[in-house]
Structure 1
Amino acid sequence: MNHEAFVRVMLAGDVMTGRGIDQVLPYAGDPKIYESYIRSADGYVALAEARSGDIPAPVAFDYIWGDALAAMAARQPDCRLINLETAVTRSDEAWPYKGINYRMHPGNIPVLTAARVDICSLANNHVLDWGYAGLAETISSLQRAGMQTVGAGENRCAAEQPAIMSFGRNRLRVFACGHPGSGVPDEWAATENKAGVNFIGDLSEATAVNLSRQWSDDRQPGDLVIISIHWGGNWGYRIDRQKREFAHRLIDSGADLVFGHSSHHPIGIEVYRERAILYGCGDLINDYEGIGGHEEYRSDLRLLYCVDLARENGALRRFELIPYEMRRFRLQDASTVDREWLWACLNRECRSLSAALQLSADGGTYLLGW
């Protein structure tokens, strides 16, 4: 495929490979958790099996990606970027009183390399679930496996540093930050002398200016900038005015793509000044199968996002959404009925943002129009 005119980025929202997912992988860690209603991560495996059937544990490392692996390979992305919403650690120091603590055993890192992940955004509300030792091990484990990390580090300077990939005369620079609206505790903010996440306390104009300095101070000709933001609640389609204004300010300040996540289901997409704003990508991988509640949002339906950015100026050139269903902890191609339901739902939300989704010629994916 000729990528001379654009850089192709494959995006995934929240990827949570801990807890129940970790338990079906070859190197399952200690299943003990501290939730009020389930005390073992094995309970989440049981819920999924009760709903969809037996999971053949231990599964191969590529199992959970299912049909998505072929779709990613066929599109030949230049970069694969995910929000990794779990610690990768053996630490037993659960963050006190948090309630939900995600972790994956470092031996299961090949579950991420099986999908050829390039960059893991870590500025979210679970990266410190197992303390500062857990954060340090998460970063070192991912980096040893050849993945870049962004949005968290040993101090504020490290947390603010971008992940960088080079493509000829272009650099793709990815920055990441976390907002308390998604559950990121303010005490997790990295400081000059303390590890943590690249934390933004509000969505004010001043915060947008300060955040944009992270990419504007060292910007070079040919740089493309993605800002990954963990923000907002888990359920609902409403996008408030403050969030839209904040995203617009980031683009006005030079960002080429706003990659937002935290919602458990996909929400509307906007195109502003030829730049895409994903307000909430929805989850791609998790162990929520079998958990009741919020069925109207169909959180079992998942999306991969394939985005082409013009090399010359970062403008959006093509935007494809690829739908899946999660069953037995494995992504499988969504049925015709489910694809059409998700298309109608997302098209409604995109239209409220002056965009629209079209079904592809074969009806298997969606294309964003603006």
Structure 2
Amino acid sequence: MTETVRIGFTGDVMLGRLVNERQEHRSSDAVWGSMRDHLAALDGLFINLECCLSTRGRQWTLTHHPFHFRADPDWAVPALQDVGVTWATLANNHVLDFGEDALEDTFSTLESAEIPYAGAGRTEDLAWEPSHVSVAGLDVGLVAFTDNTPEFAADTDSPGTAYVEIDPDDEACLERVGTALERARAGDPDLLVASVHWGPNMREYPPRSFRRFAHWVVEQGVDIFHGHSAHVFQGVELYDDSLILYDTGDFVDDYAVDPVLRNDRSFLFEVEVTSSGRVRSLRMIPTEIADCAVYSAFPTVASWCRDQMRTRSSQFETQFEVEDEALVVRVDS
């Protein structure tokens, strides 16, 4: 095993709609823009896959659901493999955009490509099943769940997401999540990750209840809390020597850009971990989406990202250093 392991975490990777159309006319790796080589050089890469991988199915119409995302597996799988995606969470509000047929295609496509996933499954039990992956000899346990779109929740007989209404004061919520974390810990992983698609869109700060919930999750033994869903990045917190990434924003998509919140800007969140699973540091590399691909941010944009991250993390008293264009948090010195 190497002395240290570098694991990248991203926010939403949405490969459908205009991204899918662009990819019909360019190479599969084009979606990674100037970030391609950096992503491929990581020891592990964990993403939120914010779409289904299928060309089948009909748009979800059972409840109000205005946006529908799916990508053609013929290019999407090679793109994921090109940068070595190690694991994907499917616990989000778009995996059932085109119904159960497209969701089944997503499962079978990832399985055939040998890309592990969690957070959705063919039944409720499978949706809540933890993943275990090996990253440069490091055993990583992962649990994924969401509080978005209860209509997408898996049940005993139907596929869907690992859904829970997140409330740190609700015993049913704590029991549901606690049981999943206990099952993951039973595998004795070197590193335990919780990946959570939570909360409303376009919010720069997590509500107080989310902070309490994230703290509780860390107290259950989680080393890295990987949040996403808001479409804008939120602050990071060092809590009991564990990392809380409240929201990692958007990484690849075709979304309309808010001129103030700038949901096209975020980071690649790169965590350095020792061979024994101890988190050493977090390195945040500023990124920007352009033409349905992700790029390393230009200096002026990188400066904006760093300033916003400092502001959004100030309530957590997080201490940052700057190395090149990246923000760095030292955990284990």
Q: Same fold (TM over 0.5)?
A: yes
Say which is worse superposed, 202-211 or 63-72, in terms of deviation.
202-211
Task: Name the Cα RMSD after superposition.
Answer: 1.9
The C-alpha deviation readout for 1:270-303, integer Å capped at 9, x for no partner, is 1110000111100000012xx35x2111222231
CA distance in 2, matches of 1:222, 1:121: 18
Query: Is it true that 1:81 corresponds to 2:46 in the alignment?
Result: yes
The C-alpha deviation readout for 1:51-93, integer Å capped at 9, x for no partner, is xxxxxxx01000010111222244x32x211000001112231
8 A Cα contact 1:22 1:105, kept in partner: yes
Query: Is it true that 1:215 corresponds to 2:181 in the alignment?
Result: yes
For residues 200-349 of structure 1, the aligned pairs below 5 Å read: 200-205=164-169, 206=171, 207-217=173-183, 219-288=186-255, 291=256, 294-312=258-276, 314-349=277-312
Say which is worse superposed, 12-21 or 263-272, in terms of deviation.
263-272
Cα deviation, residue 170, structure 1: 4.4
Match of 2:110 in 1: 142
For residues 137-216 of structure 1, the aligned pairs below 5 Å read: 137-166=105-134, 170-179=138-147, 184-205=148-169, 206=171, 207-216=173-182
Cα deviation, residue 7, structure 1: 3.7
Cα deviation, residue 201, structure 1: 1.6
Query: Is it true that 1:15 corresponds to 2:17 in the alignment?
Result: no
Structure 2 counterpart of 1:9, one-letter code: I
The C-alpha deviation readout for 1:190-237, integer Å capped at 9, x for no partner, is 122221111112323422343122132452445321010000122121
Change (3 A) 1:251 1:105: same
CA distance in 1, matches of 2:235, 2:221: 22
CA distance in 1, matches of 2:243, 2:48: 17
The C-alpha deviation readout for 1:170-205, integer Å capped at 9, x for no partner, is 4201110011xxxx2212211222211111123234
Match of 1:34 in 2: none
Match of 2:320 in 1: 357
Show structure 1 runs of 4+ deviating over 4 A: 167-170
Secondary structure of the corresponding residue to residue 250 of structure 1: helix
Structure 1 counterpart of 2:82, one-letter code: A
Cα deviation, residue 121, structure 1: 0.4
Cα deviation, residue 332, structure 1: 2.3
CA distance in 2, matches of 1:72, 1:269: 21
Query: Is it true that 1:71 corresponds to 2:34 in the alignment?
Result: no
8 A Cα contact 2:266 2:305, kept in partner: no
Q: Which one has a bigger Cα radius of gyration? A: 1
Cα deviation, residue 348, structure 1: 1.4
8 A Cα contact 2:253 2:293, kept in partner: no
Structure 1 counterpart of 2:196, one-letter code: I
Q: Which runs of 5+ in 1 are unaligned?
A: 27-57
8 A Cα contact 1:8 1:308, kept in partner: yes
Match of 1:30 in 2: none
Secondary structure of the corresponding residue to residue 37 of structure 2: helix
Aligned length: 325
8 A Cα contact 2:181 2:220, kept in partner: no
